[in-house]
Amino acid sequence: MSSDLAGRHNATPVLAIEGLHAGYGRVEVLRGIDLVVGAGEVVTLIGANGAGKSTLLKAIVGLVHPSGGTVRLRGEDITRIRPEQAVRRGVALVPEGRLLFGPMTVRENLDLGAQSRRLSAEALRADVERVFELFPVLSERAAQSAETLSGGEQQMLAVGRALMADPALLLLDEPSLGLAPKVIAEIFSALDTLRASGLTILLVEQDAKLALRHADRGYVMRTGAVALSGSAADLLADDDVRLIYLGAWHGGGEG
């Protein structure tokens, strides 16, 4: 067990990755990743495009097959799990691009998110209502097809669909991509609500400053490896991280 894992968490962490290697064909993208996410934490992955952040999320859920190392969910080895098994084990991915079922309604997309749980009609309605409480606009659009929603509404639906699986671990890949600042603020406010509820989240986000302000800890990835890790506050204050990933700003204020 890595010293990071052993030192930070006495209890079994929700996610523990050790020495993970993965890629596409003969192209290795991940080169020995060590990472841990404790229960109730929001941990963010930051780094330049091509650093391997999205590949890491895909490796966790079985969309990319690791060639070495281990992935453990609450102590269980899920290194070579299939995507449908990952959902049943409690891992839900909100992918970049959302991948909604466009012709289907908002409600139908949400119902599909709970398909692996075999809920009663009453329990299903209750979970849908919780998503509507988090994103009220989805309640207004419940009978509308997903493809007619705005980009921000589609992102909310993608998050809501993942939540319908009742995950122990929520993986988010670039939730702010292409969205207006007001919509981004709404989505991250919802993530703060989920964080306060105790949900464990691993977040990949293009806006590193935004991500760190809503996270407990962060990992900086560079060319498929972890270059740096620490508390979100420490990474925000690190001069190298500021210069390379956050953009320099003066006096700790906005840049």
pLDDT per residue as tens digits for the range 192-219: 999 999 999 999 998 899 999 999 999 9
DSSP string covering 62-74:
TSS-EEEEEEEET
Domain ranges of the chain: 1-90+167-255, 98-166
Strand segments, DSSP code E, in the chain are 15-24, 27-37, 42-46, 66-73, 76-77, 91-94, 169-173, 200-204, 217-222, 225-231
What are the tens digits of pLDDT across the range 93-150?
999 877 888 899 999 999 999 988 888 899 999 999 999 999 999 999 999 999 999 9
- Distance from C-alpha of 20 to C-alpha of 33, rounded to nearest angstrom: 5
Mean pLDDT of 17-44: 96
Position 157 pLDDT exceeds 70: yes
118-124: long-range contacts at Cβ-Cβ below 8 A with a sequence spacing of 24 or more? none
What's the pTM value of the predicted model, to 2 decimals? 0.88
Q: Could you count the other beta carbons within 10 Å of the beta carbon of residue 175?
A: 25
Predicted confidence at residue 65, as pLDDT, reads 92
Domain 1-90+167-255 superfamily per CATH:
P-loop containing nucleotide triphosphate hydrolases (3.40.50.300)
Using 50, 70 and 90 to split pLDDT, how confident is the model at 38?
very high
Going by C-beta distance under 8 Å and a sequence separation of 6 or more, which residues neighbour residue 37? 13, 14, 15, 16, 43, 169, 200, 202
Q: Are 170 and 92 in contact (CB under 8 A)?
A: yes
Mean pLDDT of 70-95: 95
Predicted confidence at residue 163, as pLDDT, reads 97
Q: Are 175 and 189 in contact (CB under 8 A)?
A: no
- Distance from C-alpha of 119 to C-alpha of 252, rounded to nearest angstrom: 48
- Distance from C-alpha of 86 to C-alpha of 193, rounded to nearest angstrom: 24
